[in-house]
Structure 1
Amino acid sequence: MSTYLDFEEPLKALEDQIAKAQEIGQDAELDMTDKIKALEEKLESKTKEIFSNLTPWQRVQLSRHPERPYTLAYIQGITNGDFQELHGDRNVRDDKAMVGGLGSIDGKTVMFIGQQKGENTKMRQYRNFGMANPEGYRKALRLMKLAEKFDIPIVTLIDTPGAFPGLEAEERGQGEAIARNIYEMMNIKVPIICIIIGEGASGGALGIGVGDKVIMLENTWYSVISPESCSSILWRSWEYKEKAAEALKLTSDDMKKLKLVDGIIKEPLNGAHRNPEEMFSIVKREVKRQITLLSKLDAEERCEKRMNKFTNMGVFK
């Protein structure tokens, strides 16, 4: 049974009407074709109306939708199931919130890395809600260095509410691990494509977010802080989260205008959560396109362009 957000309720009502009309047509052997067609047209029109006028907070809600595909789903969809996961940071343990490994896109080997959230309560606990510990970022860096050694392009899929803020994570060097990744990713010689598929929060996202191309899916967000946390700091309450979402300029459109990301991938009409297969196909095409373009550049030139892009951010004349 599908989950509907509050602003999606009109769509649920129309879908229920279509299902009811189909049921009546079957049970009473009546021709309901015209009725169903009219309802489907109304549903499409209403969907366009709702999804073309989303507020920043509604986009945040969509990025967290429980049916939205997560990193492993994208990897499996893009690689047609030939993904081989690699484990461990060779130091502390294998962080289940950060996944990575090798897969192929139409015969081309790619290193995939990303945060993985759980699909149910048990898996969310197992994956630590997509919040990686220092060993997760160190595993990610190990895999990036492996990819560089064998001249394999890297694709990172970002979807995290932030790096894990626990005491033990700080004791093991959370800040250093993220900073080290940012530093190292600037100079990795192979193409790096970073795609924000859900939440892109704080250093948790930046730890695997330095690339030649940083691209956001349409209904995602990228910010130093979540709207709820921002609201609680500024107003001492979560009640102003919608106002905070507006002020943070965290949507894909805002980030593109501010030149903090390189592009936006359009989602299917009613969001990635309603049509994941189409979303996988769209992302796969974009990844292939970017790898082809980036592979034409010399490694030194690619690193220089990457570094210049990030050092120019926030500079105003």
Structure 2
Amino acid sequence: MKAAVVDRYGPPDVVRVADVPTPEPGAGEVLVRVDRAAVTVADARIRGARFPHGFAPFARLAFGVTRPRRTILGTTFSGVVEQIGPKVDAFDVGDRVSGMTGMRMGAHAERVVVAARRIVPTPADVSHTDAAAVLFGGTTALYFLRDRARLRPGASVLVNGASGAVGTCAVQLATLLGGRVTAVTSTPNVALATRLGADRVVDYTTTDPFDTTDRYDVVLDTVGTVSPARGRRVLAADGRLLLVAADLWTTATPRRGVHTGTSGEVPDDFRYLLDLVAAGKLTPVVDELGGLGDIADAYARIDSGHKVGNLVIAPGS
């Protein structure tokens, strides 16, 4: 099979398309023919060994000290079950499934082996493209808004970085949870944020969203540009500041009302998000590229800092 291989850290062009052995599913695993896979900021960080400040030594130990330990990146995919390993009863060959592979990665390939417990059925009304697009940003936004902020109806929410994979989901999920959403984005994406349901949009190129008398019950920073001190400027009493991409010092230093961390890959959350998509209540924002050969372009867009929504490739095309 063909796969996008990253055997050294570096810029987008270190990725190459190569023939690699097709993996075999073991006990409790399935082999999935990957129809669509997301290329995410997490993939780009690993490829470039560019991690939030302070995390580099620990990340290198986890992902590879001098080069990537797992040379096929990608965690988020949708496809069709092609082979079933022993002790798998929940799925059959031909089933449409979506999921995330975690530290095992491997989704930037024509086929991927994944633990059956990490995948869920893809609803008939959800395309592979939308399924692959929604899971990474959707699980992150859901974790911070629902689980960490415990967002309640009527709460005021500021989403900084409202046009990215996490931000586009966060605007919609906060609205579905009953929040009153102010989205922060740049001029070209003001209309997008409005279309996604934001009650108000702040264009940060003309207005500083943190130089205001407005106060919010929840402030969600999706891009790593808000420090605890800056975020607290606009935080209401007993409000919650959610930092998706915090540095090591911020993560390791407990502060009242400040929440960091990493979202889990929870199958029940996959089902919840996919059901929202199927019901037309959550719309993935997708920029669909071509095949594996377009991953370098996807990485370049991510590295530019101007990616909008989710980047999705079709490994088999």
Tell me the TM-score normalised to structure 2 length. Answer: 0.26
More strand by share: 2
Instruction: Indicate the structure (1 or 2) with the bigger Cα radius of gyration.
Output: 1
Q: Which has the higher contact order (CA 8 A, sep 6+)?
A: 2
TM-score by length of 1: 0.26
Q: Which has the higher helix share?
A: 1
